[in-house]
Amino acid sequence: MTTGIGQEFIKRTKYRYLGPSDQERRLPQPPMEKAFEEEGEWIRLPDPGEEAPDLKEIIDGRTSVRNYTDAPISLQDLSYLLWCTQGVKEVAGAQATLRTVPSAGARHAIETYLLVNRVYGLPPGLYQYRSLEHQLQEFTLYDGIADMILEAGLKQRHITGSAVTFIWAATAYRMTWRYGERGYRYLFLDVGHVCQNLYLAAESIGCGVCAIAAFDDDRMNELLHLDGKEEFVLYLATLGAKVQGLK
Ligand SMILES: Cc1cc2nc3c(=O)[nH]c(=O)nc-3n(C[C@H](O)[C@H](O)[C@H](O)COP(=O)(O)O)c2cc1C
């Protein structure tokens, strides 16, 4: 049995060890979305469209898929996938957003980055999804970025074989402002919901997904200009059109 940091984390985030949160101390709420960088083009995404496949069939068909065809996906499909994973359905005052996924206290402390390898109309590179605006913002179109993400992803080839790799990062204070240290648990729970929606939405349009939790944290954070403390990568998922009969 292990008695290391994992158990310590579960113990120390129990209610009995928590002091008042910053919200309870009446400190101002952090923003609902990360501040914009001045640089980087904005890309308006098309309407996510209407998909109405059978949910049971989709859940039944879902598996992790690591091999994809070379076919690019459309911007419309990407828009649909982003909406299904982080789409904002309602902005409740200046306090919270209600999205297509649940989130503890509607904190939605996750930002979505995309490594685009093959999407019609988008130059390959790293992008950030602006959920409030339902738009993409260029992050870097540096030529070698896909290989760098591949390295940071411990050389899992489906990262560069994908049409798109989703990278989800926490903005921790958006969550801990309300829940203190316990909020760290919720970040990981929240991102699981996001990834599951990606699996199911992808299945509904003939695409496959594979979740990735094995990556070099420091390197991945560095590539996304995240400090690894206030902001850090939680999870990735590769996605592309399925090759029939291959996983
Ligand atoms: C939290 C989590 C982390 C995972 N990390 C990886 C990973 O780093 N690389 C990978 O190829 N698959 C990864 N997977 C995919 C699992 O291997 C896969 O879900 C599992 O083998 C069950 O197969 P299924 O998804 O087809 O049902 C991960 C899945 C989860 C839920």
Domain spans of the chain, in order of start = 39-241
Q: Which fold has domain 39-241?
A: NADH Oxidase (3.40.109)
Which atom of ligand 1 lies closest to the CA of 215?
A: 8
Residue 240 to residues 1, 165, 166: CA-CA distances in angstroms? 39, 9, 11
pLDDT digits (tens, 9 = 90+) for 36-58: 877 888 988 888 776 667 899 99
The rounded Å distance from CA 65 to ligand 1 centre is 9
The three-point CA angle 79-66-235 to 5° equals 60
pLDDT digits (tens, 9 = 90+) for 185-240: 999 999 999 999 999 999 999 999 999 999 999 999 999 999 999 999 999 999 99
- Angle between helix 183-204 and 172-179 (nearest 10): 130
The rounded Å distance from CA 73 to ligand 1 centre is 22
Which residue's CA is minimally distant from atom 20 of ligand 1? 64
Which residue's CA is minimally distant from atom 1 of ligand 1? 213
pTM of the model: 0.92
pLDDT for 67 beyond 90: yes
Q: Which residues surround ligand 1 with Cβ inside 6 Å?
A: 63-64, 66, 156, 210-214
- Angle between helix 75-86 and 183-204 (nearest 10): 140
pLDDT digits (tens, 9 = 90+) for 91-133: 987 789 999 999 999 999 999 999 999 999 999 999 999 999 9
